[in-house]
Structure 1
Amino acid sequence: MKTRRFLVLSLAWLASSSALAHANDSSAQKAAGGLELIANDRVRMVAEDLRISPTAIDIQYVFQNDGTEDQELTVAFPLPAIEGFGLSQQPVDLPFPDQPNFVGFTVAVDGKAIEPELEERAFVGDRDVTAILRRHGLGLNPLGTGEKALGDLSAEDYAELESQGIATPRDFGEALWRYEAKFHFDQTFPAGRPVAVTHSYRPVTGRTFLVKSSIGDPADTRTYCIDAGTKRAMAGVIRKAAAASYEADPVENAGLKADPMDGVAYSAVVQYILTTANNWAGPIGTFRLTIDKGAPGNVVSLCQDGLTKTSPTTFEFTARDYVPKRDLAILFASPDNEGLRAPQ
């Protein structure tokens, strides 16, 4: 039987509200500049089971090649971009900052583990600055560690990056480039036979404090569809954080007893790109989304109709012949920062 070779670009991830995101499997092709998303009209996504929590993302897919020839595809998982500028003001957690596979991304096909490749590139606007950064010995990921940092450059080398709009003036010392990473692997989809693909990884999360003044932020209200009931629940999270702080140190935190809404809680943002699923043939046959807020005392908010509470921490949405119209942005709030962190 003939085998036709294509390139399929797939999943991505989620992270800070403006800097990061995760994605769904999709078709792609290898080009001189790197992997590019394309559409595939033979292989369809029979099922997707997606589970998202503040500390883990797990996806199970079933694909079916409805053509008469085997399809050899490059399946890619594009990690949403990390913007270098502003990271000092908006902390972002990198699960494994000292490793190239900084999210611990794993792949299995029909139960067999596969080692994906990683493509990394850096951009300022539409301009690819990967080669310039590598020439200066800099790591492309502005959140990574273990490689030369901007502050290690000579005055002459730094001036070159500054003149090209790749770095701020040296007194600020911040990256101005955007980091894009894609995991990818080659896979044959036999004609007429289903193929099961699973992915697991830890999301890159944008973290911030949750305080009284941030509950009514219009941008957050729109982005995460925060309604009146969720605002009251978030206020409850702040009061729980205040009570814990007062109990830990009644003298230093005496004011929190009088006004618990002066407390400080925590929030984390996870993003996931669903719309790349539209590059496969047809809609997703069966789609299930599970959101796990991590702890009963946590609060979660996102723009997704039809979610049903299934346990003290989980909510589910299911659909047939599902066509994603938008990507996911999920806000988690907790009175305890450890409630949003993965076990070490």
Structure 2
Amino acid sequence: MTLQFPFSAGFLALFLASGQALADDAVSGYPAGGVVFKSDKDVSIARQDIDLSAARVHVRYVFVSNAAAPVVKTMRFAMPKMPQDDTPDSLIELAPGKARDNLKNYVDFQVLVDGKPVAPKHHEFAWSGTRNLTAGFLKMGVPIFAATRDAREKLGQLPDKIKHQLAMQKLISGHGDGIMPGWDYQSVYEWLQSFAPGETGIDITYKPILGYPNDMGPHGLTDDFKTAYCIPPDFLGDHAQRAGMLGEVAVLGYLARDMDRPIGEFHLKVDEGAHTLASLCVPAGLTATNKPMEWAAKDFTLKNDVKVLFLVP
């Protein structure tokens, strides 16, 4: 028997709608990036510093406004889309450290404007691949966040006809107290930023969710890895000489954001730390500085995502 909804046509349009504006295509692990910002004739990014490590991502922007009065712009940071099931790759398993205390902020995102913390507005999205399910879920009363046991209990309390429809779409599995969500959860933070004439500094930090592509450590670094991450021939030799290095392979992705004009000064740094090695294909157009694992350019646009491979303890 096929169950019918009184709002079925509208629901299906919402339910199956494809939403690309906040969707991020995975490059490695569960990548995130910097703020989403649409410049105008008066406000531009004079400088961007990206500092990547296996434990922390820090991005600093220096915005410059040439307007005579403050200009207000909407700023947005989209976290990676995360599974909510009981697999090892799920949100509740991979959320790093402190972020587990607040799973909706699962990368411990923080933003400072001119050194002062900002409390951005939180938005939630439900995804199945590139399909944005959010509007349909809200209309049906389906909880978007369902990563914890308490949150999943709300799935069991949904009307049977809605649970049946979700099951038909393979968006839930199981029954009773064992219902498991089959969609991805995404947090997006947004705030209104006032740019006074002159410079405004914005710092964002978050703890990246790394991908672990093999269980063989450095012995699993095939030619595909060597090509994708530009691994040098002496990489494993350096690894063997580092005391205390266990050598688990982890990958980090940093998403390039579309910019409609070049950034005045651009700096990229990869921080290996005391017991970590890193390798990456340096984006075209960047020049090495006199410091290890640092590159810079002027009037630069980051056109491709940055992918870093780490050997971590």
Fold match (TM-score > 0.5): yes
Give CA deviations for 1:173-232 in whole Å, capped at 9, x if unaligned.
764323322111111113x411111112222222353435511152x3343222433354
In structure 1, what is the equivalent of residue 28 of structure 2?
A: 17
After the TM superposition, which residues 1-344 of structure 1 pair with which residues of structure 2 at under 5 Å, given as runs? 17-18=28-29, 20-27=30-37, 38=38, 40-68=40-68, 70-83=70-83, 87-88=87-88, 92-95=94-97, 96-99=99-102, 100-130=104-134, 138=143, 140=145, 144-145=147-148, 147-149=150-152, 153=156, 156=160, 159-167=164-172, 175-190=181-196, 192-207=197-212, 209-211=215-217, 213-216=219-222, 218=224, 220-233=225-238, 241=246, 265-276=247-258, 278-279=259-260, 282-295=261-274, 297-304=275-282, 306-307=287-288, 310=291, 315-334=293-312, 336=313
Q: Which runs of 5+ in 2 are unaligned?
A: 1-21
Distance 1:101 1:195, change over 3 A: same
Contact 1:283 1:323 (8 Å CA) reproduced: yes
> Which deviates the most, 178-187 or 126-135?
126-135
**Secondary structure of 1:162's partner?**
helix
Separation of aligned partners in 2, 1:60 and 1:234? 31
CA distance in 2, matches of 1:285, 1:320: 5
The RMSD of aligned alpha carbons is 3.7
Aligned to 1:5: none
Counterpart residue identity of residue 287, structure 1: F
Number of aligned residue pairs: give it. 279
Q: TM-score, normalised by structure 1?
A: 0.67
The residue identity in structure 2 corresponding to 1:57 is: V
> Partners of 2:276 and 2:195 in 1: how far apart?
41
**Structure 1 CA distance for aligned equivalents of residues 221 and 243 of structure 2:** 10
Q: In the TM superposition, what whole-angstrom CA distance separates every residue of 1:77-105 from its partner, at most 9, and x where no partner exists?
A: 11232245794368634341231322222
Partner letter of residue 71 of structure 2?
Q
Note the C-alpha offset of 1:133. Answer: 5.5
Change (3 A) 1:217 1:173: farther
- Note the alpha carbon deviations across 1:140-165, whole angstroms, 9 max, x for none: 3x6x4364238973795654322113
TM-score (norm: length of structure 2): 0.73
Structure (1 or 2) with the greater strand fraction = 1
Q: Give the whole-Å Cα distance in 1 for the aligned partners of 2:87 and 2:253.
A: 17
Specify the alignment match of 1:249 in structure 2.
Answer: none
CA distance in 1: counterparts of 2:152 and 2:223, whole angstroms: 34
Residue in 1 that maps onto 2:19: none
Specify the SS of the correspondent of 2:235: helix
Return the alpha-carbon distance in structure 2 between the equivalents of residues 12 and 111 of structure 1.
29
SS of structure 1 residue aligned to 2:46: strand
Q: What is the distance in 2 between the residues matched to 1:164 and 1:233?
A: 49
Cα drift, residue 240 of structure 1: 5.4
Structure 2 contact 126–144 (Cα < 8 Å) conserved: no
Gap runs ≥5 in structure 1: 1-10, 28-37, 242-264, 337-344
